[in-house]
């Protein structure tokens, strides 16, 4: 990968937030977002810690890539371990491995530099240890994974709770119940506590709150239910279509046949319902990275059929596996093109605008931006994140204006953010905030276009502001 794609680029801007935050941990201060805690904007503390650890001996891009190089073998070993738990033969195990690596947009998500791949790995291994809970090692490892899950992805806290209740059910009727319960609680809390304290000391919160900023900015919480259903259905349909409708629907139904599978079934239902009600665009944001964390659960439903006592279920499982294998391999070029498209966009657009800013803007400039990652990695300018992922003060404006208005006052909130932070330049992604420059001009801002990439980025000098009275 490094030889083929030199220089190396990750296809999602948020990956560079991890990289930036890891660099801030090493430097001890943030030159791009002054007085902002290093952990602010970090969804996964575990992923960040791995990147920061690699920075002791690797340069930034390679440090982030090295984390992916650790995660992918763990994912491969997990798929094989799961296959052999259910007594798959060699052909079945290899087929299952190929499916797990190629289905849908898995190749893309394994290489984005984001926490999605790490979340998939921890979900996969949690189901492995839940399935083998009668083994002594699983009774130690599964509680540890439950304590770690919320700090890999916050929404995995729900799965951690369900798995903990599952363990409680298994040990309840056994001798020495109180001793086993104490061990379960102790391991879970012992693993979780360092991450809780780290986040609290750095940000004043016990858990990462990046989703709060996105919920306020995208302002979908108060959408009518029929609108939420339409938006979410588009995203979930893309997820199903990308993995094969028959593939995921079949796996989903098969989850009901085992106790661990039913637990996964409940988690998927609750998680997708929460996305629908709170943040429906999460179903397709960044190529569905929020929904792909559930894919290992679907795969569990597929492989568990191999040990079914009913012959027709085993036969259906083998037929479904054959279908998934053919579909996944046929879909692989599409998945790879998604990855390459994102990489090329980062190389040709994000990097181009960052280098232009480095060459043409004064060193002491303050930029108002939408994508908070790559610019903080590639430049030393002071930045203001209008979403709020890296600039906490922005959240209050969106909470006051954007969220209650269902997004209709988003540009008004951005105007107030500009008045509050006094940036010199505006850098916007035209495909995300189409029409922002024109709206700001109508609100009294005088903007001078300096550098515009069609259907990509625009850099504007903020020259003056005169309040416009609207009647």
* Res. 331: pLDDT tops 80: yes
pLDDT tens digit string along 4-40? 666 678 999 999 999 999 999 999 899 999 988 888 8
pLDDT tens digit string along 248-275? 888 888 888 899 999 999 999 999 999 9
* Res. 384: pLDDT tops 80: yes
| pLDDT for the residue 2 | 64
Distance CA 220, CA 406 (A): 6
Residue 1: partners with Cβ closer than 8 Å, 6 or more residues away: 8, 65, 111
| pLDDT for the residue 102 | 94
φ/ψ (deg, to 5) at 425: -140, 155
| pLDDT for the residue 467 | 64
* Res. 114: pLDDT tops 80: yes
Indicate the average pLDDT of the chain: 89
pLDDT tens digit string along 273-302? 999 999 998 888 888 899 999 999 999 999
Average pLDDT over residues 319-340: 91
* Res. 143: pLDDT tops 80: yes
| pLDDT for the residue 436 | 78
| pLDDT for the residue 243 | 86
| pLDDT for the residue 7 | 66
| pLDDT for the residue 84 | 94
More confident residue, 422 or 454: 422
Average pLDDT over residues 97-110: 94
| pLDDT for the residue 237 | 87
| pLDDT for the residue 471 | 40
* Res. 103: pLDDT tops 90: yes
> Do residues 93 and 84 touch, judged by C-beta distance below 8 A?
yes
| pLDDT for the residue 286 | 85
pLDDT tens digit string along 158-202? 999 999 999 999 888 777 788 888 999 999 999 999 999 999 998
Q: How large a percentage of the chain has pLDDT more than 70?
A: 96
Distance CA 127, CA 299 (A): 10
Q: pTM of the predicted model, to two decimals?
A: 0.93
Which of 236-240, 247-251, 325-329 holds the top average pLDDT? 325-329
Distance CA 248, CA 328 (A): 12
Average pLDDT over residues 64-90: 94
Q: How large a percentage of the chain has pLDDT more than 90?
A: 54
Average pLDDT over residues 64-70: 91
* Res. 44: pLDDT tops 70: yes
Query: For the residues of 112-166, what is the DSSP string, one character each?
Result: SSSSHHHHHHHHHHHHHHHHTTTSHHHHHHHHHHHHHGGGT-TTHHHHHHHHHHH
Distance CA 158, CA 161 (A): 5
| pLDDT for the residue 8 | 78
> Do residues 343 and 116 touch, judged by C-beta distance below 8 A?
no
CA distances from 269 to 264, 273, 276 (A): 9, 6, 11
* Res. 152: pLDDT tops 90: yes
């Amino acid at each position: 990968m490094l030889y083929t794609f030199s220089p190396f680029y990750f296809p999602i801007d948020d990956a560079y937030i991890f990289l930036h935050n890891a660099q801030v941990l090493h430097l001890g201060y943030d030159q791009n977002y002054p007085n902002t805690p290093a952990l602010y904007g970090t969804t996964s503390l575990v992923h960040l810690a791995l990147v920061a650890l690699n920075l002791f001996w690797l340069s930034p891009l390679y440090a982030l890539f090295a984390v992916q190089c650790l995660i992918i073998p763990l994912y491969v070993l997990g798929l094989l371990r799961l296959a052999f738990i259910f007594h798959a033969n060699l052909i079945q195990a290899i087929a299952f491995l190929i499916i797990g690596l190629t289905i849908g947009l898995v190749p893309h998500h394994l290489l984005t530099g984001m926490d999605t791949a790490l979340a998939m790995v921890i979900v996969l291994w949690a189901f492995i240890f839940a399935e083998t809970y009668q083994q002594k090692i699983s009774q130690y490892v599964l509680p540890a994974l439950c304590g770690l899950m919320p700090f890999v992805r916050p929404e995995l806290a729900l799965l951690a709770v369900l798995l903990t209740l599952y363990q409680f059910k298994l040990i309840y009727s056994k001798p020495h119940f109180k001793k086993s319960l104490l061990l379960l609680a102790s391991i879970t809390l012992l693993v979780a506590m360092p991450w809780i304290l780290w986040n609290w000391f750095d940000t004043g919160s016990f858990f990462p709150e990046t989703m709060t900023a996105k919920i306020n900015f995208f302002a979908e919480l108060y959408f009518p239910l029929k609108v939420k259903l339409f938006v979410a259905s588009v995203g979930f349909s893309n997820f199903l279509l990308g993995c094969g409708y028959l593939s995921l629907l079949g796996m989903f139904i098969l989850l009901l046949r085992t106790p661990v599978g039913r637990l996964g079934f409940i988690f998927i239902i609750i998680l997708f319902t929460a996305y629908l009600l709170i943040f429906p665009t999460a179903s397709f944001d960044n190529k569905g990275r929020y929904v792909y964390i559930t894919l290992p659960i679907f795969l569990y439903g597929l492989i568990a059929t191999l040990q079914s006592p009913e012959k027709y279920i085993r036969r259906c499982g083998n037929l479904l596996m054959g279908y998934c294998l053919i579909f996944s391999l046929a879909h692989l070029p599409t998945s790879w093109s998604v990855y390459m498209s994102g990489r090329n966009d980062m190389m040709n657009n994000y990097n181009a605008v960052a280098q232009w800013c480095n060459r043409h803007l004064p060193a002491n400039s303050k930029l108002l931006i939408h994508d908070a990652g790559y610019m903080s990695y590639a430049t030393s300018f002071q930045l203001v994140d209008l979403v709020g992922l890296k600039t906490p003060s922005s959240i209050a404006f969106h909470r006051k204006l954007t969220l209650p208005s269902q997004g209709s006052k988003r540009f008004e909130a951005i105007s107030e953010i500009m008045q509050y932070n006094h940036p010199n330049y505006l850098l916007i992604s035209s495909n995300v905030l189409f029409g922002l420059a024109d709206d700001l001009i109508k609100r009294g801002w005088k903007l001078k276009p300096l550098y515009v990439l069609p259907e990509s980025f625009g850099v504007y000098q903020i020259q003056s502001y005169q309040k416009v009275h609207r009647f």
